[in-house]
């Protein structure tokens, strides 16, 4: 097991490049199932979840070749239809292969993704939509099986905007007979990119990026050829690193239009953010103001930025109320932040953060992807040394975040964590 060791107090200065978006790359890779041929995807980030998705595709019989940030997939020999438990348990997004497999091959057997640290993560909306499209869905032995000779268009109204639910059913419907309407669909930029990529493959989709998608099914699609959009959550994480680090940082590749809610809240807190010479410049004055946030589906404040924003508010002037309205258990990072001296009280789905003058470095445990980023950010500014354990969480969704922060002047490195002492 590895840990990340940070000595706090270094100012961050310089330029850093955003990698491709994890949450765009995963559905794009899986969309290759929809068409027989040679697919090419560029700007794919080097992440554990990407490696898992490539393994999943190979398990289905595809041939996958990765060279730097380019991934080539041949689906000519794709012949299996099962996503096994040992892969799905490490990456819930594997459920995304349900829709494409049923649409293209008439059958799929996918291990039910369990919950995770941040919540139960049900997939009822995915299954409801597949049944509406005419698939016979059954659950047995921890697997969901879906079969359909031919999917038929239908109107599907989501109970709530689900990102991978929208993506799964978008991919299922592009090969269904007739028209499908997805109401109350998710509008994240990653969903928009998937719709655009599917259209480039020959799909007929209207309303991409809005909450109503109208799809006319087609008989077959051509291969994928696209480049993954920049990771807005990594960009937002780097913006907060710059704000916490009190330096002056240029983030190359960040798209402010993908982060309007976060940028609005950072500016309200006093962070200076400006687009100039093809980059986003971020700097912040000595002390920031406390501001309230509530996470919402896009274009609201992203739940994937909640943990990082909380780290920033720990040192703000005043009290910030942070409401987590998407997931039922996404305050695990507060445990580590409190160990570092943060004043955080939890009240159901809200965390009340009273700003303090300083944080002190401590050994802390990462519990999930964005919680680990939050603890790293706090370590940048804490007095003394912070050790973030279980950094495999971080590597699922960030491409060498520690190296990027080091390039900006942070005193941060990885080292092997001693195995936990077992008391007999």
Show which residues are catalytic: 116
Rule CB under 6 A: which of 295-314 touch ligand EPZ? 303-304
Residue 88 lies near ligand EPZ (rule: CB under 6 A)? no
Q: Reduced to 3 states, what is the DSSP secondary structure of residue 13?
A: strand
Q: Does 187 bind ligand EPZ (CB under 6 A)?
A: no
Closest alpha carbon to 240 in 276, 219, 270, 207: 270
State yes or no: residue 362 binds ligand EPZ (CB under 6 A).
no
Tokens of 196: 């655009």
Q: Closest CB to ligand EPZ among 74 and 303? A: 303
Position 326 contacts ligand EPZ (CB under 6 A): yes
How far lies 349's CA from each of 131, 291, 306, 324, 327, in Å?
32, 17, 12, 5, 9
**Which of these ranges, 115-123, 137-145, 175-183, 200-208, lies near ligand EPZ under the rule CB under 6 A?**
115-123
Which of 273, 369, 391, 401: binder of ligand EPZ (CB under 6 A)?
Answer: 369
DSSP symbol at 315? T
Q: Is 125 in the site for ligand EPZ (CB under 6 A)?
A: yes
Token look-up 């041939």 returns: 63
The distance in angstroms from the start CA to the end CA of the chain is 22
Shortest spacing between CB 164 and ligand EPZ, in angstroms: 3
Handedness of CA 7, 13, 14, 17 (dihedral sign): positive
Instruction: Give whichever of 77 and 139 is closer to ligand EPZ, judged by the CB atom.
Output: 139
| Percent of the chain that is helix, strand, coil (3-state, to 5) | 35, 30, 40
**358 backbone dihedrals φ, ψ, rounded to 5°:** -155, 160
- Residue 123 is a binding residue for ligand EPZ (CB under 6 A): yes
- Pick between residue 21 and residue 408 the one whose CB is nearest to ligand EPZ: 21
Scanning 82-90, 157-165, 241-249, 269-277 for contacts with ligand EPZ by CB under 6 A, the matching segment is 157-165
Site string for ligand EPZ, 391-410 (x = CB under 6 A): ------x-------------
Can residue 325 be called a binding residue for ligand EPZ (CB under 6 A)? Answer: no
3-state secondary structure 98-127: HHHHHHHHCEEEEECCCCECCECCCCHHHH
370 binds ligand EPZ (CB under 6 A): yes
The torsion defined by the Cα of 331, 334, 336 and 338, in degrees rounded to 10, comes to -160
Q: Which stretch binds ligand EPZ (CB under 6 A): 30-38, 117-125, 192-200, 265-273?
A: 117-125
Positions in the binding site for ligand EPZ (CB under 6 A): 22-23, 26, 93, 119, 121-126, 160, 162-165, 186, 303-304, 326-327, 369-370, 397
């Amino acid at each position: 097991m590895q840990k990340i060791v940070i000595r706090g107090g270094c100012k961050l200065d310089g330029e850093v490049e955003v990698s491709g978006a994890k949450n765009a790359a995963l559905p794009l890779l899986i969309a290759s199932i929809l068409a027989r041929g040679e697919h090419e995807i560029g700007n794919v980030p080097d992440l554990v979840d990407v490696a898992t998705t490539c393994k999943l595709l190979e398990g289905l019989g595809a041939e996958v070749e990765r060279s730097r940030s380019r991934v080539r997939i041949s689906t000519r020999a794709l012949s299996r239809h099962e996503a096994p438990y040992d892969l799905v348990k490490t990456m819930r997004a594997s459920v995304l292969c349900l829709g494409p497999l049923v649409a293209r091959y008439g059958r799929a057997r996918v291990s039910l993704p369990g919950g995770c640290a941040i919540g139960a993560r049900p997939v009822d909306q995915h299954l409801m939509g597949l049944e509406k499209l005419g698939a016979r869905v059954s659950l047995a032995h921890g697997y969901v099986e879906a079969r359909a000779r031919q999917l038929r268009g239908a109107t599907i109204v989501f109970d709530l905007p689900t990102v991978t639910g929208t993506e799964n059913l978008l991919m299922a419907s592009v090969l269904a007979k007739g028209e499908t309407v997805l109401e109350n669909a998710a509008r994240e930029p990653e969903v928009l990119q998937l719709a655009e990529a599917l259209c480039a493959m020959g799909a007929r989709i209207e309303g991409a990026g809005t909450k109503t998608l109208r799809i006319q099914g087609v008989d077959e699609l051509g291969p994928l050829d696209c480049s993954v959009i920049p990771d807005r959550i990594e960009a937002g994480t780097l913006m907060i690193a710059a704000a916490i680090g009190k330096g002056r940082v240029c983030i190359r590749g960040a798209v402010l239009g993908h982060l309007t809610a976060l940028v609005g809240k950072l500016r309200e807190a006093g962070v200076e953010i400006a687009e100039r010479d093809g980059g986003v410049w971020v700097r912040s004055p000595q002390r920031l103001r406390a501001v309230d946030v509530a996470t919402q589906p896009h274009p609201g404040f992203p739940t994937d930025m909640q943990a990082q924003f909380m780290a920033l508010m720990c040192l703000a002037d005043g009290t910030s109320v942070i409401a987590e309205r998407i997931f039922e258990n996404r305050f695990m990072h507060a445990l580590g932040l409190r160990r570092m001296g943060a004043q955080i009280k939890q009240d159901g789905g809200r965390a009340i953060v009273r700003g303090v003058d300083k944080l002190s470095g401590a050994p802390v445990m990462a519990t999930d992807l964005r919680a680990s980023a939050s603890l790293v950010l706090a370590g940048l500014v804490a007095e003394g040394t912070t050790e973030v354990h279980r950094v495999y969480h971080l590597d699922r969704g960030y491409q060498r975040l520690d190296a990027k922060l080091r390039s900006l002047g942070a005193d941060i490195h990885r080292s092997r964590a001693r195995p936990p002492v077992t008391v007999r």
